[in-house]
Chain A
Amino acid sequence: DVVLTQTPPTLSATIGQSVSISCRSSQSLLHSNGNTYLHWLLQRPGQSPQLLIYLVSRLESGVPNRFSGSGSGTDFTLKISGVEAEDLGVYYCVQGTHAPNTFGAGTKLELK
């Protein structure tokens, strides 16, 4: 199975600070069809996970544009440009290129 390594495991930030989360894959996530099936989820405390970004960098409908994704191949990054209180929770990267789908271990974003 593809292993997704997320760093850091925990991130402390102040409101307004910009932060980045890394997701590294044990295999290239570029599919033979040209798509890279790497996505980002946020699970707020007490809530279900929410899709933030799909296909590396496409913002899901309704998600604020302070969230952005980048990367290719095996290295990917989620950036939050100006953390807000509602952004606290656990962030996951997830890949769908190679079966079975796999998740990163999560990055917990908390207030400093």
Chain B
Amino acid sequence: EVQLQESGPGLVKPSQSLSLTCSVTGYSITSNYWGWIRKFPGNKMEWMGYISYSGSTSYNPSLKSRISITRDTSKNQFFLQLNSVTTEDTATYYCARSGGFRGALDYWGQGVMVTVSS
């Protein structure tokens, strides 16, 4: 069974970097696409970016140069780094797998809530 698990700090100070890890079991990240999505207070969802089976990346332009997604295939993990965070980055962050059709996210982690506050 495919399982994803996010981990990382739940509190980040403004202007610092947010770093999260997604650990995947039951499936290799060298197949498919793997993404980060966040849900803001309320219901708004935002696709942040993904890393492909080959290691190529694609990011939401709204995050400009603040975002980086990398991976460690030996540990079957991929990572999110978001720089220069503000209170507007407070959200629940999810990692997910794209099941073969663009945008169709078929496996999700449980999510990690990150608060940006001093």
Interface residues of A (CB under 8 A from B): 1, 31, 35, 37, 39, 41, 48-51, 54-55, 60, 90, 92, 94-97, 99-103, 105-106, 108
List of B residues within 8 angstroms of A49 by Cβ: 45, 94, 96, 105, 108
- Nearest 4 interchain pairs by C-beta: A96-B103, A96-B102, A106-B43, A103-B45
8 residue pairs from A and B, CB less than 8 Å apart: A37-B104, A41-B105, A48-B111, A55-B101, A94-B103, A96-B101, A102-B47, A105-B43
C-alpha spacing A97/B104, complex, angstroms: 11
List of B residues within 8 angstroms of A39 by Cβ: 101, 103-105
B47 and A54: CB pair below 8 A?
no
Q: Does B73 make an interface contact (CB < 8 A)?
A: no
B109 and A99: CB pair below 8 A?
no
List of A residues within 8 angstroms of B103 by Cβ: 37, 39, 94-97, 101
Q: How large is the interface on B (under 10, 10 to 19, 20 to 34, 35 or more residues)?
A: 20 to 34
C-alpha spacing A55/B101, complex, angstroms: 8
A100 and B62: CB pair below 8 A?
yes
Given contacts A96-B101, A103-B47, contact A51 B106 (CB under 8 A): yes
| Residue from B46, B98, B106, B110 in contact with A103 in the complex, judged by beta carbons closer than 8 Å | B46
Distance to closest chain A CB from B47 (angstroms) = 4
A92 and B105: CB pair below 8 A?
no
| Residue from B58, B104, B109 in contact with A54 in the complex, judged by beta carbons closer than 8 Å | B104
B109 and A48: CB pair below 8 A?
yes
Q: Does B8 make an interface contact (CB < 8 A)?
A: no
Interface residues of B (CB under 8 A from A): 43-47, 58-62, 94, 96, 98-99, 101-106, 108-111
| Residue from B43, B46, B58, B105 in contact with A90 in the complex, judged by beta carbons closer than 8 Å | B43
C-alpha spacing A1/B108, complex, angstroms: 24
A55 and B47: CB pair below 8 A?
no
Name the residue on A nearest B44 (C-beta): A105
C-alpha spacing A4/B114, complex, angstroms: 26
